[in-house]
Chains A and B, each alone.
Chain A
Amino acid sequence: MFTLQTIRKDFPALAQKVYGKPLIYFDNAATTQKPTPVIAIVNEMNSLTNGNIHRAFHYLGNICTERYEEARETVRAFLNAPITEEIIFTSGTTAAINTVAFSFGERFVRANDEIVLTEAEHHSNIVPWQMLCNRKGAILKVLPINDDGSLSVKKLHQYLSKKTKLLCITQASNVLGVINPIKDIVAIAHAYGVPVLVDGAQGAAHGGIDIQDTHCDFYVFSGHKIYGPTGTGVLYGKQKLLNEMPPYQSGGEMIASVTFEQTTYAGLPLKFEAGTPNFTGVCGLKKAIDYVQELGWAHIKEQEEKLVCHAMQRLQEIDGLHIYGTTTPKTSLVSFNIDGIHPTDAAQLLDKMGIAARSGHLCADPLMHRFNVQGMLRFSFSFYNTTEEIDTAVDALKKIKQLLH
């Protein structure tokens, strides 16, 4: 059996003090801490088992290649993707989205075509599409959200048409926590013949996705937000689409043969993995996925639901506190403002009390405009957080409120 105490021991970062106070880490939506198996494999590969993959015949190169390809299979199984070659390793969500924006865009998007996204997207799922539209003379259409953070799925019908080339939508909002009904959305989009890219940056650590159940065409996520190393990420794409798309970056690894007259590309997945990938990090990502799967999604969801409910309840005690994203289901985060208090002031004082929270536009300016605020404060929890930490943070907020008024 896992207990909270044994789980916390797996994450050395949680035991540290900041400014002489025990760290309370509530910025898990930005990045998660790493468990010891992840740290151990990365250390081991940096200190011993280090050989470049896919090209060497020697012992170390072989082991690294095996581990890297094993990681690909782990990710495939995690997402329940049908084909291992559909899993492409990238440096993160942002890199994965840019790959699709370029390659899919080159192949499929022309002047006056439309790309549809939602108002609740992270900048990483906005700007690459904006740039694509600027390059091609295509048009960006934005599906608004409701006041409680939910999407009116039916409204999609007004936004999709023959002109739509792609629908880009986050699985869960990094600001509101709201989890979108991806399966229903994909079904509607597919009825219009529109493929769907799902930004899984905030979804991966809370259960990931079942590709064969939801039928989404692209799914992207970052390793560092699911307890893995930074600089790792995944692009899942349907084989048929990936085969039709041109490579994004070019160089070593992604070629079949090169002469100065012509280069033929390697097949999937290497076609999209130019250069030496972060194979050490990817092996760490495998360990991270193994770790959360061993813990079990049921356990993780139960614990995280308990935390977010407790936080929503306790935060209501504070006069003038407004929570954004009140619909369910939501991931384990809560964003809010307190009347008359600038989120930066509160975050700064929380920091001094050992509490790592997030403040500002949370990489989602359009959402800030939507709610007519300069910024928000965000607590985002992981299964390793405790209700006692939340109590401490709420008490800290009460103190801060007194101090600032």
Chain B
Amino acid sequence: MQIADLAQQIIDEFALFPDWMDKYEHLIELGKSLPPFDEKNKTEPHLIQGCQSRVWLNAAYEDGKIMFTADSDAIITKGIVSLLVRVFSGQPPQAIIDANLDFIEQIGLKENLSPTRSNGLLAMVKQMKMYALVFLNKQP
């Protein structure tokens, strides 16, 4: 599935929860079910400097697609991390570079990606796009 379709899927999913509390509850569940992150990779190079909550990100390049794994010590942050992984992991570098993140706004979680929230998510998105750029330039 392409990024836009995955994003739409998430928008539809969150539309089922009109109340913010239910939305956050769903987000927390998503965070809890994020595939485990290899503890070995919880090291400085994988740590995204985000002030309050710590976010770790790892990427591998397989068959022209980037596979992301990630984690956070804060569960709400982890929920959003899981959304970003779901949308970006398994996509080709160019699609990741071109992608916008409107869907986060559309599901009513915009403040979590705002520069005033020092939760590292914005830095995580930047880092994902950086990986995409690097892998793109490595292509034959």
A16 at the interface (CB under 8 A from B): no
A403 at the interface (CB under 8 A from B): yes
Q: Is the CB of B52 within 8 A of A344?
A: yes
Q: Is the CB of B118 within 8 A of A342?
A: no
Given contacts A345-B74, A348-B76, contact A404 B28 (CB under 8 A): yes
B54 at the interface (CB under 8 A from A): yes
CB distance from B30 to the nearest CB of A (A): 14
Total interface residues on A, using CB and 8 Å?
15
A349 at the interface (CB under 8 A from B): yes
Q: Is the CB of B24 within 8 A of A342?
A: no
Total interface residues on B, using CB and 8 Å?
17
Q: Is the CB of B76 within 8 A of A374?
A: no
A403 to B79, CA, bound (A): 13
A345 to B73, CA, bound (A): 10
Q: Is the CB of A342 within 8 A of B51?
A: no
A359 at the interface (CB under 8 A from B): yes
Q: Is the CB of A342 within 8 A of B25?
A: no
Q: Is the CB of B28 within 8 A of A342?
A: no
B69 at the interface (CB under 8 A from A): no
Identify the closest chain B residue to A360 (Cβ): B52
Tell me which of A344, A360, A403, A404 has the highest count of chain B C-beta atoms within 10 A of its own C-beta. A344
Given contacts A342-B73, A342-B75, contact A403 B24 (CB under 8 A): yes
For B74, the chain A residues whose CB sits under 8 A away are 342, 344-345
Q: Is the CB of A345 within 8 A of B118?
A: no
B20 at the interface (CB under 8 A from A): yes
Q: Is the CB of B51 within 8 A of A345?
A: no
Q: Is the CB of B51 within 8 A of A374?
A: no
For A374, the chain B residues whose CB sits under 8 A away are 53-54, 73
Given contacts A342-B75, A344-B77, A348-B76, contact A360 B51 (CB under 8 A): yes
CB distance from B114 to the nearest CB of A (A): 12
CB distance from A175 to the nearest CB of B (A): 15
Identify the closest chain B residue to A351 (Cβ): B111
- Interfacial residues of chain A within 343-362, with CB under 8 A of chain B in the complex: 343-345, 348-349, 352, 359-361
Identify the closest chain B residue to A341 (Cβ): B75
For A92, the chain B residues whose CB sits under 8 A away are none
Which of A352, A360, A361 is B20 in contact with, Cβ under 8 Å? A352
Q: Is the CB of A344 within 8 A of B25?
A: no
For A233, the chain B residues whose CB sits under 8 A away are none
- Interfacial residues of chain A within 379-405, with CB under 8 A of chain B in the complex: 403-404
For B75, the chain A residues whose CB sits under 8 A away are 342, 345, 404
B82 at the interface (CB under 8 A from A): no
CB distance from A349 to the nearest CB of B (A): 7
A392 to B129, CA, bound (A): 42
For A360, the chain B residues whose CB sits under 8 A away are 51-52, 118
CB distance from A294 to the nearest CB of B (A): 35
A359 to B25, CA, bound (A): 20
A375 at the interface (CB under 8 A from B): yes
Q: Is the CB of B24 within 8 A of A344?
A: no
Which of A352, A359, A403 is B52 in contact with, Cβ under 8 Å? A359
Tell me which of A348, A349, A359, A374 has the highest count of chain B C-beta atoms within 10 A of its own C-beta. A348
Q: Is the CB of B119 within 8 A of A349?
A: no
For A344, the chain B residues whose CB sits under 8 A away are 52-53, 74, 76-77, 119
A344 to B119, CA, bound (A): 8
Identify the closest chain B residue to A375 (Cβ): B52
Q: Is the CB of A345 within 8 A of B20?
A: no
CB distance from A318 to the nearest CB of B (A): 18
Identify the closest chain A residue to B119 (Cβ): A344
CB distance from A21 to the nearest CB of B (A): 11
The 10 A-B residue pairs with the shortest CB-CB distance, nearest first, are A342-B74, A360-B52, A344-B74, A344-B53, A344-B52, A345-B76, A345-B74, A345-B75, A348-B76, A352-B20
18 other A-B residue contacts (CB within 8 Å) besides A342-B53, A344-B76, A374-B53 = A342-B74, A344-B74, A344-B77, A345-B53, A345-B74, A345-B76, A348-B76, A348-B112, A349-B24, A352-B20, A352-B21, A359-B52, A360-B51, A360-B52, A361-B52, A374-B73, A375-B52, A403-B28
Between A and B, 8 residue pairs with Cβ closer than 8 Å are: A342-B53, A348-B112, A352-B20, A352-B21, A374-B54, A374-B73, A403-B21, A404-B28
Measured CB to CB, the residues of A under 8 A from B are: 19, 342-345, 348-349, 352, 359-361, 374-375, 403-404
